[in-house]
Structure formats: C-alpha cells, structure tokens
Structure 1
Amino acid sequence: MNFHYISNTRTIAMAALLAGAVSACTPESSDKGLGPLPTASFTAEPLAGNANKIVVANTTPGGFLFEYSDDNGHKSTRERDTLSYFQKGEYTIQFTVFTNGGFAKAVKKVTIAQNAQTRDILKGGDMATGSEQFWTVLNTGGTQTAIKIENGAMHFDNTGDSNGAIYQKVSVVAGKSYIFSAMVSGNGASNSWFEIYIDTAVPKQGSDYSGNKYISLNTWSGCGAVKFAGDLATIGCDGTGKNKNGVMSFTKTGDIYIVVKAGSAGGTLGTGGVVFDDVKFLEEI
C-alpha cells in the first residue's frame, strides 16, 4: 500500500537550497521560476536472489536530492540504494525527493518473509570458560572497574568511582550489513555508564577510549538506574545506534574494535554489578 503527501508551501529554506545548488547563477542571469510541486514516487523491490535486501529507486521526474529512511534505522541519500533486513516482519520506508518545484514524500511498506542468513564473527561471546583469551582488558586510567568471566557470563563490578573496558578486533566488509546484540542485566546502577563503542580507533593502555559510542546504558540519560535485563541493542538509551536494533554497515573494509566500557562517577554499578553475556556481532552472508 502506498501513501503520498506533498509539501503545500514553497519555503524560504527550499529557495535557499535551490540557490545553493545553482550558486553560479544570479537573479539577474535567469528569469526561470520554480516548477510545479512534485508528486514523489519510488520503487521498493526485493533484490534478485536475496529477499532480505530491498532495492529502492527514485521514479520522480526532475528529482535531484533524495533521502530514504525506515523504522529499522536505515538512512540513504542515494537515488538508488539497497536496504538490508535481518529479521522477518513488516517495515515502512519513507522517501523524500526535491525538485525545482519543491519537495514531496512517499511511503511504502515492505514485508520480509524470513530471517536473513548470518554468521557470528565475534569470538568468545558466549562467555564460556576460556572465552577471556579472545578479549583484551583495557586500563583506561585511574581506578579500574573489576571485569571477570564467571559462571558463563562476564561481570563488571565496582564499589565506587571507576572506569575500565574490554575489547576485541574484528574485520568488516564495506557495504555488508551487521548487527550487534548482547544480553545485559543488573539490579540498578547510580551515576554510571555501560557503553559499547564500535570504531576504527585502536585502544591504548592507560588511556580512556572514545569514538563512536554505538549503544549504552547511561543513568544520566534515563536507563540503567533501576533493575534491568534484555538485549542492550534495544534497551540502551544513548549512542548512535539508539533505536536501530543493533543494525549497522560500514563504508570501508578493514579492522574495527568492539569496546565494552563500564564505570561510575559518584555512584556504583549496583549490587552484583552488570552481567554481560551472549554477545554477537552478526555479518550477513
């Protein structure tokens, strides 16, 4: 089912955008006015041989700027692109197009019939005995958060101000889709953070880690202060991956680092600390 809705006014912002796009021209050099308001249209069809990929393409005459977005966290500004979906279900794709007459939007719903085929490229995510060999403990300076694997899970604990992390290097391929997930639980922390960084920056012992904070529990942002349990990718309330259900892609092929950092400032990680288990970093096949 398709739904279309169109801007009814030609805004100053649109005029400015058009002026920027043709900055070499001046009002004195052209008397061409704005064209008619467009009717947005696009196609959204399964990729041949892979029904978990949807190819979206503009079909609006005169379009020169485009944006696709959906309720799974995808965003694209290409005229034609491919969106990947890991899990079966119904998804809504919204399309915005600009022409010399203004902008318009259109919406399509697509149904994914089955889960995508993936492989886990992270090692030791089950936190079984011996999994510690795949993780490197990072000293971020100052008092170190206690981190240990015990009873089939990784535990982060403290009794006051601390910071510390673990990390693992993995290799990713540009254009492929990936999904991060991890079960996390705790009895409620105070003035604390539990963060997942996914970045190309190499961790350095004795230095704090910063970069692309993908998803986190953060008591100042409103999560982690009361008893919690679930997939961090969905219950996290802070980071660039918020509301993206763990899905991401990369523009360059190479090594990245998955860094798990936890600590407190004027509080603690709570009674029993934070339990971290069943960590996955899935790559589409």
Structure 2
Amino acid sequence: MNLSINFKKGMYLMLALALGSLTGCDDDPANNGLTASSVDASFTVTPVAGAVNTYLLTAQPKGVIASKWNTGDGTYQGKMIETISLPDAGTYTITHTAIAAGGATANATAQVVVANSDPAKGNLVKGGSFITAEDRANWKKVIYNAGADWTYSDKGATVSGGHAGIYQAIDVVKDREYTIDMTISGGASSDMWFEVYAGKSDPATTSGDYKDGGTVMGLNTWGGCGNAPVSGKLSAIGCVKNASKDAISNVVKFDITGKVYLMIRSGGGIAAGGITIKSVEFRGK
C-alpha cells in the first residue's frame, strides 16, 4: 500500500516538474520564437532609367516586416521599395533600418555618388541649413504672441514658446510644379500645430494668422501627428493635407510668374525644447 502511494506521489511530482518546465519555456521571450535572432538589412541601389538623379532602393524582404530609411536628413518610415531623388551633386550615405519580428533591428548602408546637380531641381531656398549668419539673414520673423520666437543654431531653426513664423520670398514660374520639404525634429507636443504655406501676400503686410494659399503640409496634434516625438522629412511624417489637393502632398503650383512667400509657422503647446527644422527645400518638380 505504501509503495503504491509513494509511486503515485512520484508520478505527480514528475508531471508537475514537466509542466513547470513547459511553462518556464513559454515565459521566456528568448525561447518563444517570436523575436528574430538575426535581421538582414541589405538593399540595392538602382538608378531609375530616364529620370535625373533618381534612385530605386530595394530592401531584401525575407524576415523583414518594416523599413526605415535615412538619406542624410533624418530617418523616416518608408517602404521595402523606395524611390528617392538626390538633385544636388555630392556623396550620400543611404542607411536602411530593417525591422523584424519582436522589434529586432539591423542597419545597412550604401554610398551614392551624384556627379552633377539636376538643373531643373535646384533648391530655391536660400540659407535653408541656418548654419551661418549669412544663411539666417535670408529669413524674416513674424512673432504672433509674447514669449514666442524662432532661434538659430548649428542644429537648425527652432520655434518655441508659442505662435511664431519665419519666411522668405521665392521666385516661381507660372504653372510649374514645385515641391517643398524640410527635416523636422522635436519631442511630443500637445494642442500644437506646425504649418507650411506658399502664398502670394507678404507676411509682413498680413494681419492675423498667415493663411494665404492654404496649408501645404504640416503637423497637427488633433490630426494625429506631433503628439509623439518626431524626426525625419516633414513630407513623410506630416498629417496636414495640402489645401489645393485635399490630400497629403508637398507639391505646389502657382498662377503667376514672380514672387511667392514660403511661410513656416507654429503655435500651441510646443514640445519642451521646441521644434527644429533644417534642410529646407523648395525645388522644381
């Protein structure tokens, strides 16, 4: 009798240990097969036939669920196959961040040498890097409320403290399409808007908020962007619709040949440390 009881107890103990071992494996994320052990971020760069300084980035897809790219102006969420334009001559380091199961990541880089600038897509913005005093002199400020300001550093132009704008005049050709873009970074904001305009009226002579031409692009926490930290091209991470197209687009066109004004303004609960822009571009499409 005692032998039978001891035998049963031994069997129960072995079963409990076996179940405990199985549970332990399930609780260990390193052993559950949900996190990739290695990620292949390799990609190819191919010139696009018939297009000037335009390249196709193609990431290998095996085991990759998302891609981020950086062409030198900040990382942005992209696709596995991405088309980029590098209109200015120079050497560019392209970085691909591959994201796999469980959030595992890996990076790969490739260099692209652009021998000649694209004459049709030259940047019409002057001083878009904000690095030197000469750069900064191309911009004018509009301060809408006390305590708001744009300040300049080697990191770019930073808006903080409330509603303020910067602008400059750009010469355009009637009915030609242009693209506007910039690199933007900042922390999480609340009740904040950040808007880009390209209008025909001079902001210095405009009373109230500048709205000429309607918004081209931007951030808006009520619209779902800017309420988390931001970093990358505004064209890629913005959620404000282009008023002329009623869609997300950074393309603009004008009914005049002459001057228009690139106006960038922000307000509301801007993140601590402000919102910083650099590499501001206004180019022929």
Which TM-score band (shorter chain)?
0.5 to 0.7
The unaligned stretches of length 5 or more in structure 2 are 1-48, 57-82, 88-117
- Output aligned runs, 1:117-136, within 5 Å: 117=118, 118-130=121-133, 131-136=135-140
Give 1:144 deviation, angstroms. Answer: 4.7
TM normalised by structure 2 equals: 0.55
Q: Which moved more, 1:207-216 or 1:218-227?
A: 207-216
Partner of 1:280: 281
Paired AA for residue 280 in structure 1: E
Structure 1 residues 207 and 144: alpha-carbon distance in aligned structure 2, compared to 1, 3 A threshold? farther
Partner of 1:174: 174
Partner of 2:229: 227
Question: Cα deviations across residues 209-249 of structure 1 (Å, max 9, x unaligned)?
Answer: 112111010001110000111111221101316432x2333
Give yes or no for the alignment of 1:257 onto 2:227.
no
1:243 aligned to which of 244, 248, 258: 248
2:157 aligned to which of 154, 159, 162: 154
Task: Quote the Cα distance in structure 1 between the aligned partners of 2:84 and 2:239.
Answer: 29
Partner of 1:62: none
Q: Share of identical aligned residues, percent?
A: 25
Give 1:179 deviation, angstroms. Answer: 1.4
Partner of 1:216: 218
8 Å contact kept, 1:144–1:164: no
Aligned Cα root-mean-square deviation (Å): 2.7
8 Å contact kept, 1:216–1:236: yes
Give yes or no for the alignment of 1:207 onto 2:208.
yes
Question: Cα deviations across residues 262-281 of structure 1 (Å, max 9, x unaligned)?
Answer: 110xxx21121101111111
Task: Quote the Cα distance in structure 1 between the aligned partners of 2:261 and 2:84.
Answer: 32
Partner of 2:193: 193
Paired AA for residue 239 in structure 2: C
Q: 3-state DSSP class of the match of 2:235?
A: helix
Task: Quote the Cα distance in structure 2 between the aligned partners of 1:113 and 1:189.
Answer: 29
Q: 3-state DSSP class of the match of 1:234?
A: helix
- Output aligned runs, 1:11-30, within 5 Å: none
Paired AA for residue 261 in structure 1: R
Larger Cα-atom Rg: 2
Partner of 1:79: none
Partner of 2:148: 145
Counting helix residues as a fraction of each chain, which structure ranks higher? 2
Structure 1 residues 260 and 144: alpha-carbon distance in aligned structure 2, compared to 1, 3 A threshold? farther
TM normalised by structure 1 equals: 0.55
